[in-house]
Amino acid sequence: MIAAVSLNSQTYLGHNQEAYQELRLALQLNLRRQLLIAVCDDLALQEQLAQRLEANFSPLPETVPLAAEVRARQLTLVTLRLSGDRPDLVREVLLWLKQQRRLQSSLPTTPVFQIVGIAQFTRQSPTVQNRFLASLIRVDALLTQLDCRLVVWVPRPWLGKIRQSVPGFWRSRSGLFEFMGEPGAPPSAPTEPAVPPAPSRPSANPPDLWRVLRDDLSTFEQPAPAKDRTPKDAAAQPAVPSVELPTLLDPEAKAARNHDLPQNPQGYTVVDQGSFSSIVMPPVGAMAAETLAALQRAEPVLPTVEPVPAPVSPSPISLRPSDALELPPDLAKDVELANLWRYIQGLVEQQAGPLTLARAYLALGQIGRDRLSVDAPAASVLDFATAVYDRAIAGLPQGSTDWCDALNDLASLYWLQGQQESTPDPAPWLRRSVSTYEKALQGGAKTIPADTLGRIYGNLGTVYGLLANLEDPAPCLEKAVAAYQQALLHSPAARSPIDYANLQNSLGAIHWRLSQYDQPQHHLAQAVAAYGEALAHRTAQDEPLEYAMVQNNLGIAYWSLAQHQQPVFLLERAIAAYQAALKYRTVDAAPAGCAATANNLGTAYWDLAQQAAVAGEQRIATLQQAVAAYETALAAAQIALQETPPPALGFDLWATCHSAGVVHDQLAQALPETQPEARQRHLETALSQYLLAYQGWQDYPQQVEVLITALVYNAHLNFEIFGIPAQQVVLSKLPGELLAQVLRRL
């Protein structure tokens, strides 16, 4: 271990090294809204420690090659020195942020502020001391609204006065680190008049300094009448330049206003990656990939309905006392999680305030949540994460952004609980997930930021969509529509075009599913509109496969609507959408997606060829395009199924073989008599496709019945075009179990 400090005496070296390492570790945890108090009476040692801490967190120079996102996350530490003419801690932080033009910045680059110089206030006047103590009242608002982090260096006498005079500041601490100096005369305690009679508020005669912050405390603290302010008091206040800084309110004042002051939210990650993750942590897991793929893509294939076991309610989660909660072995191997867990245990031992503990538990839960999104979670890990979020929610202010974020994550954990192999029925867990999302919305709808509301409403819509697979579908889908519409209201395209596009895509999928139960034309038209909006805010250059997925969904919506109205026009629209998708869903880039879209394209061409308005050469050309699309689908599917593990295609491969055979038969019938070779080739290809379909369908009586009808049709065409010898050739190629059934129908 490298020595953190160098002292003339070795008496306290070991203790100081340990305390310094603990302080540095607490900062490296990178928690939000930390207030760390470092206690040291030896001013020379305090200065040395502060300098070493600043050096340890100095950003790497620009000459060091780093990725932009890595450099943005570098932990930097800024030292601010208070003095007799600058005793306001909060004001100094805000002035630094204003000078660096970071007050309006949403980038995660706010440094840790290290506050020094407090010891010299002992020699200042009571007025200066009061101003310093009064500034501490607003530290919690500073931490909350700007997500700042503070390291405050104080000597022990001042620590006692702060603890007595500003109890809110003391309760907000995230850690206490004590350093030992050389024996000597103890520093003088601050003079008694420095402690205001009402320590939780500024003095009744606020100095001019309070007007530095716009409306700061003025709404809650009525200034003393002018006659009570003596010329001597007024002269004692230094002139302060007027600056434009955000309003910061003390915690008691915020409570008096029912928490109507907006906070500065910090969203979490997923979001930067993909449709659910940009809305936040959606309930996504490896075990649910197939279900979610069906929800997103909404392929026009009837799903296989499997029997649903009897509902089994999840056993209630028993919350063990904090001292009995243990880090699961799977998580204990993670250094970051283990360090944060030890840090929390230290907070518990120090009897930290409930809000500080709640924020630490929230950070632990969020780190654990990110680990869960990578691997299939073990049941013990899910139980631990759920218990951690329960502790966080218990201590967070109801309606705050953190409280809503914690409920949002807890609802996602409930969804994951339902995906465990040991859970026979996920419906109870999904219902619990829904109720947790709704609790967050009911408790924080008036106070939390719009982007947080949009994220929660989007997740709620997703879970309702999944619940529709397990319960009465129509009511669940209607609720999903309402949730997505609310999400769109709070997630406008101007703020995040990708989030907006993802929500519109999800809304379109829900409308498509609703069309199968009620008002098909209305819901399909709504699906078309939603997919169109999604495409208007996506570009193929940025996310080509996501763009292709939405184009495929749009084609499905057009194809479905064509079954009810304007078939030629809407089928042509569907074909155009599928073709746009296939520009990016290529065999090389996405063989499974290419197969699904090409299959849909073949079906659209075949349907178009059946329309009365499409005849003659146009019909033959349309059928030929259908054959080409089906052949592309079969070739792409063959490549996709060679992957390990093979992906879910999203459609019945054997049905595609059957459809290709039907189109070949129709081409043989439509071609003129002057092309006998082409007609014979199409009939032979049709028969081979039917026999290929039989390999996959032979154990399914209903599908075999459909296939026998197609074989009888093929035998008839061979007889009509080429006579009995051609029909005999067909019959000779049929398996024995099919031959008897075909002969009975000829």
What would the DSSP string read from start to end of 261-326? Answer: SPP-----GGGGSSTTTTTS--S--GGGHHHHHHHHH--SSPPPPPPPPPP-PPPPPPPPPGGG--
Confidence of residue 121 (pLDDT cuts 50, 70, 90): confident
**Residue 115 main-chain phi, psi, to 5 deg:** -105, 120
* Model confidence at 626: pLDDT above 80: yes
When mean pLDDT is compared across 29-33, 61-65, 336-340, the lowest value belongs to: 61-65
Average pLDDT of span 554-561: 96
Encode pLDDT of 211-260 as tens digits: 222 222 222 223 333 334 333 333 333 333 333 344 443 333 333 333 33
Domains, the chain, in order of start with CATH, read 15-60+69-183+191-204 (3.40.50), 270-304+426-525 (1.25.40), 313-396 (no CATH)
**Residue 661 main-chain phi, psi, to 5 deg:** -65, -40
Dig out the tokens for 209 from the structure: 């300094």
Encode pLDDT of 37-52 as tens digits: 999 988 888 998 998 8
Task: Please report the pLDDT score of residue 710 as a whole number.
Answer: 95
Dig out the tokens for 590 from the structure: 């996405």
Distances (CA, A) of 581 to 299, 389, 660: 14, 42, 21
Task: Please report the pLDDT score of residue 568 as a whole number.
Answer: 96
Amino acid letter, 162: I
Task: Please report the pLDDT score of residue 729 as a whole number.
Answer: 93
CA distance 117 to 140: 20
| Among 457, 436, 434, residue whose Cα is nearest residue 445 | 457
Average pLDDT of span 131-149: 85
What does DSSP say about strands 35-39 and 175-178: parallel, antiparallel, or unpaired? parallel
* Model confidence at 721: pLDDT above 60: yes
Average pLDDT of span 390-396: 92
Residue 404 or residue 506, greater confidence: 506
Cβ density class 18-35: b for 16+ within 10 Å, e for less: ebbeebeebbebbbbbbb
The three-class DSSP label of residue 86 is strand
Confidence of residue 5 (pLDDT cuts 50, 70, 90): very low
CB 110, CB 146: distance < 8 Å: yes
Task: Please report the pLDDT score of residue 59 as a whole number.
Answer: 61
CA distance 448 to 261: 10
Task: Please report the pLDDT score of residue 207 as a whole number.
Answer: 32
Amino acid letter, 709: T
CA distance 223 to 217: 10
Task: Please report the pLDDT score of residue 113 as a whole number.
Answer: 93
What does DSSP say about strands 149-154 and 175-178: parallel, antiparallel, or unpaired? unpaired
- Give kind and range of the element (H or E) at residue 409: helix 401-418
* Model confidence at 304: pLDDT above 50: no
Which of the listed ranges 5-14, 348-357, 365-374 does the model predict with the highest average pLDDT? Answer: 348-357
Task: Please report the pLDDT score of residue 61 as a whole number.
Answer: 54
CB 693, CB 661: distance < 8 Å: yes
When mean pLDDT is compared across 142-151, 559-568, 597-606, 721-730, the lowest value belongs to: 142-151
Dig out the tokens for 84 from the structure: 């007799």
Average pLDDT of span 106-127: 80
The three-class DSSP label of residue 478 is helix
Amino acid letter, 698: Q
CA distance 739 to 737: 6
Q: Give the dihedral of Cα atoms 486, 487, 490, 491; nearest 10 deg.
A: -150
- Tell me the pLDDT of the chain averaged across its residues: 77
CA distance 506 to 283: 14
| Among 144, 162, 78, residue whose Cα is nearest residue 114 | 78
Which of the listed ranges 66-70, 142-146, 296-300, 423-427 does the model predict with the highest average pLDDT? Answer: 423-427
Encode pLDDT of 409-465 as tens digits: 999 899 888 877 777 888 999 999 999 999 999 887 777 788 888 989 999 999 999
CA distance 567 to 610: 10
* Model confidence at 397: pLDDT above 50: yes
Amino acid letter, 681: R
Task: Please report the pLDDT score of residue 11 as a whole number.
Answer: 42
Residue 300 or residue 665, greater confidence: 665
Degrees (nearest 5) of the Cα angle 600, 601, 603?
65
Residues 6+ positions from 134 with CB-CB distance below 8 Å: 196, 201, 202, 203
Which residue's structure tokens are 């465990």? 420
Confidence of residue 19 (pLDDT cuts 50, 70, 90): confident
Amino acid letter, 303: P
